[in-house]
Amino acid sequence: MSIHRVAITVCCAVWTASATAAEPTHATYKYAKLRPVPRRAVTFGDGFWKPRVDASRTAGMRVVLDEYLTGKSKYITRNFQVAAGTVDEPRQGGRNSDEFLYKLMEAASYYVGDEDTGQIVRDLDRIIDVVLAAQLDDGYLNTWVTATGKRRFSSESWMEYYYGAHLMQAGLAHRRITGETRLFDAARKYIDLLHRETSPPDKWPFLTEPTDAWPYKFKHEERLYVQRHPDAEMALVELYRETGDKKYLDFSRLIMEGGENYLKREGLVSHAVKETLLNAGAIDYYLESGDRRFFDQVGRMWADLNRGKMYITGGVGARHAGEAYGDNYELPNRSAYAETCAAISNVFWQWRLLLATGEAKYADLMERVLYNGFLAGVSLDGTKFFYRNPLSHRGSNAGKQPDELRHTYWGCSCCPPNIQRLFASLQTYVYTATDSHVGVHLYTGSTLRYMLPGGEELTLVQKTDYPWSEDVQFDVALDKPGRFTLSLRIPGWCHGASAEVNGQTVEVKPRGGYYLAIDRPWRGGDVVRVKLPMPPRIVAGDRRVADQVGRLAILRGPIVYCLESHDNPDADLDQIVVPEDIELSARFEPGLLGGVVTLSGKAQLVRHAVEPGETTIEPTTIKAIPYYVWANREPCDMDVWLACDAEILPRPKRPTIAFGKMTKHE
């Protein structure tokens, strides 16, 4: 099989959970080029994503709900009872634990009315009762403050804006899916309190001098208030979309412009989740306000992201300290942080940029993150989760590195419920529909139901085994003929794509990275076929990234591959050298790791001796698996970036008195 060799850097690489359920009631993405479709308009069929979403809805949601209600994390729910005064015991856990429950409430709300989710809905109702009982009369809701007697809106309080954001996102999802308003009303009451307490013009701006490492500080009255965590920006814009009340849109701008000083930022410097959510919020604000200052600033931040601050998997956040972005080209493999929540936030960011511009590069990156940086964060059965996602791992002594293994329970349990809410809203990332234009952004078995402007009822059925298969088919069903434009993303990695309608060839550009727009009168029974060739390709490491010098990565379609020692038992991964001109063969293995395409080819096994010149080289065959399925078997070694230069391989240490083999005579 031929291979495309691409000398590129690692930096090339859903409508967020707050906006996934239904069309907004009032302002509807005023300055968007593309518009989301309601969650209920799309259903998954046979294909890559359905079993993963099903596993999340059943096993994944169940394990997190049980953890929060009866497991080690039950204090997260119990803290609300402590705050309400119905349980007489100390509050437990971190100051940010309320958000975990709010995220899970949002995810559970999307499942109301879905099949086989009755117990989830009952648990959701129970949790809503517990949460709302802890809300104070003026709307305030923060168990850390209420249960401990801390001062509100001060340096003693934490997460007040962030809590309001996630509570509102849960309330919006619940209202849009169920029609009920009690959770939404409670969230709005809290947001209105935040607005009254912190947004009057005579109190803004109270900006302190932010540091590069912590740019989220501002003052409330004479007391230092620490915003701590962006996300309110998106929730406020979404509340504006729901209610039409412009004060929420203005409040979002006020936080960014006065509180976080967003428009003066020069790059991504801090906590990766916070930085990425802030940019998603800025685009959300632009989509409703049309304020180009925010659009242009997001563009500058996106350029900085692509200057060596993103992993090839789409993961972001290189540093453990502060869970932060590093300097340009600071992308260590084994110590990569790449938090799962940061990958999810990156999906939110890229999705909004796609809505704002209609440009395929943002959909390409969103897809890269979904298949790699995000999906690696959850086990195949949907019940265990990564907090961070390294690109290299040595697992023979896995007990020494427990943070690199997936767990059902995490002390800081932000990632598990965040994973659930993205899975619960994932179908809204597949299509957009704007007037007589339907866009296809992700390829997976699915059905879209949409009413065209002329009143024609469109059902578009997508059939494909993508990303394992190159072939995608769309069956068009219309109750009466109608004209619309069907735009199909031709990925940037794809060369030589082809398409046809009813057997007639459609002209396609030789290189990808754009949308193929098919504008024609359509009838029921029309069939569109697309072929997206995906030979394995080699990506050369960027020499500006220390951990990529002398290394390469392997990709096929949107999938990043890795080596696990399970599949390469005859070789130590630190002894494998992959030639830059390796010929790789692709094979679908239905019985391996849920069914994956593996890649195999001839490489070298290089064994260095202590003394230079005593190296032995033997032929070996390597077998690569998708990165997202690693760590689903017994602990083992793993690498994404593979040595192509034998000189970078480690040499055995020379024996010394302090280190080496000692005989009984010595």
Nearest to residue 34, comparing CAs of 14, 60, 52? 14
Strand positions, DSSP E, 87-203: none
**Domain stops at, among 531, 552, 570:** 531
User: Are 511 and 609 members of one domain?
Assistant: no
Residues shown for the chain = 666
- 656 domain-assigned: no
DSSP sequence for 186-245: HHHHHHHHHHHHH--GGG---B----SS---EEEETTEEEE-----HHHHHHHHHHHH--
pTM equals 0.91
**Residue that has been written with the tokens 């993405």 in this structure:** 29
For residues 305 and 316, what is the distance between their CA atoms, to the nearest angstrom?
9
User: Are 397 and 460 members of one domain?
Assistant: no
pLDDT value for 363 = 98
- 661 domain-assigned: no
pLDDT value for 654 = 60
pLDDT value for 552 = 98
For residues 95 and 144, what is the distance between their CA atoms, to the nearest angstrom?
6
pLDDT tens profile 323-344:
999 999 999 999 999 999 999 9
DSSP state of 145: H
User: Are 191 and 223 members of one domain?
Assistant: yes
Per DSSP, the three-state class of 58 is: helix
Half-sphere exposure of 571 (CA within 13 A, CB side): 25
CATH number of the domain residue 52 falls in: 1.50.10
The pLDDT of residue 2 is above 70: no
**Domain stops at, among 479, 503, 531:** 531
Longest dimension (CA), the chain: 94
Half-sphere exposure of 516 (CA within 13 A, CB side): 24
User: Are 513 and 564 members of one domain?
Assistant: no
For residues 114 and 172, what is the distance between their CA atoms, to the nearest angstrom?
18
Half-sphere exposure of 64 (CA within 13 A, CB side): 32
Contact 641, 553 (CB under 8 A): yes
User: Average per-residue pLDDT in the chain?
Assistant: 88
Average pLDDT score over residue span 297-319:
97
pLDDT tens profile 451-510:
999 999 999 999 999 999 999 999 999 999 999 999 999 999 999 999 999 999 999 999
The set of residues, in sequence order, having a beta carbon less than 8 Å from that of 121 and lying 6+ positions away, is 108, 111, 112
- 600 domain-assigned: yes
The set of residues, in sequence order, having a beta carbon less than 8 Å from that of 532 and lying 6+ positions away, is 443, 466, 470, 472, 490, 491, 494, 497, 512, 557
- 663 domain-assigned: no
User: Higher pLDDT residue, 344 or 414?
Assistant: 344
For residues 130 and 127, what is the distance between their CA atoms, to the nearest angstrom?
5
User: Are 240 and 387 members of one domain?
Assistant: yes
The strand pair at 514-522 and 504-506 is best described as unpaired
- 519 domain-assigned: yes
- 666 domain-assigned: no
For residues 496 and 508, what is the distance between their CA atoms, to the nearest angstrom?
8
User: Are 462 and 610 members of one domain?
Assistant: no
- 415 domain-assigned: yes
Nearest to residue 484, comparing CAs of 526, 533, 538, 514? 526
pLDDT value for 228 = 63
What phi and psi values does residue 565 have, to the nearest 5 degrees?
-65, -20
The set of residues, in sequence order, having a beta carbon less than 8 Å from that of 627 and lying 6+ positions away, is 313, 372, 376, 391, 559, 560, 561, 562, 640
Question: Model confidence at 201, in pLDDT bands (50, 70, 90)?
Answer: low
- 300 backbone φψ class: left, alpha, beta (φ>0; ψ -120 to 50): alpha
Distance linking the first and last C-alpha atoms of the chain: 56
**Residue that has been written with the tokens 């294909």 in this structure:** 47
Lowest mean pLDDT among 20-24, 443-447, 590-594: 20-24
The pLDDT of residue 212 is above 60: no
pLDDT tens profile 24-53:
444 468 999 999 999 999 999 999 999 999
The two three-digit tokens of residue 409, written as one number? 């329970």
Q: How many domains does the chain have?
A: 3
CATH number of the domain residue 447 falls in: 2.60.40
- 537 domain-assigned: no
DSSP H or E segment with residue 563: strand 559-564
| Bridge partner list, 506 | 499
The pLDDT of residue 215 is above 60: no
For residues 464 and 442, what is the distance between their CA atoms, to the nearest angstrom?
11
pLDDT value for 22 = 41
Residue 409, CA distances (Å) to 48, 74, 390, 600 in order: 27, 11, 19, 35
pLDDT value for 115 = 81
Domain residues for the domain of 39 are 4-429
The set of residues, in sequence order, having a beta carbon less than 8 Å from that of 516 and lying 6+ positions away, is 487, 488, 489, 490, 497, 499, 506, 508, 509, 530
Per DSSP, the three-state class of 4 is: strand
| Amino acid, single-letter form, for residue 547 | D
pLDDT tens profile 564-609:
999 999 889 999 999 999 999 999 999 999 999 999 999 999 988 7
The strand pair at 457-464 and 446-451 is best described as antiparallel
Give the 3-state secondary structure of 315-346: CECCCCHHHECCCCCCCCCCCCCCCHHHHHHH
| Bridge partner list, 561 | 626
User: Are 93 and 193 members of one domain?
Assistant: yes
The two three-digit tokens of residue 86, written as one number? 């119905």
Contact 553, 643 (CB under 8 A): no
User: Are 318 and 372 members of one domain?
Assistant: yes
User: Are 66 and 151 members of one domain?
Assistant: yes
User: Are 549 and 625 members of one domain?
Assistant: yes
Per DSSP, the three-state class of 143 is: helix
pLDDT tens profile 383-402:
999 989 999 999 754 444 44
User: Are 59 and 183 members of one domain?
Assistant: yes
Contact 565, 338 (CB under 8 A): no
User: Are 423 and 523 members of one domain?
Assistant: no
For residues 417 and 450, what is the distance between their CA atoms, to the nearest angstrom?
30
Contact 241, 25 (CB under 8 A): yes
Residue 602, CA distances (Å) to 2, 448, 599, 620 in order: 14, 44, 11, 6
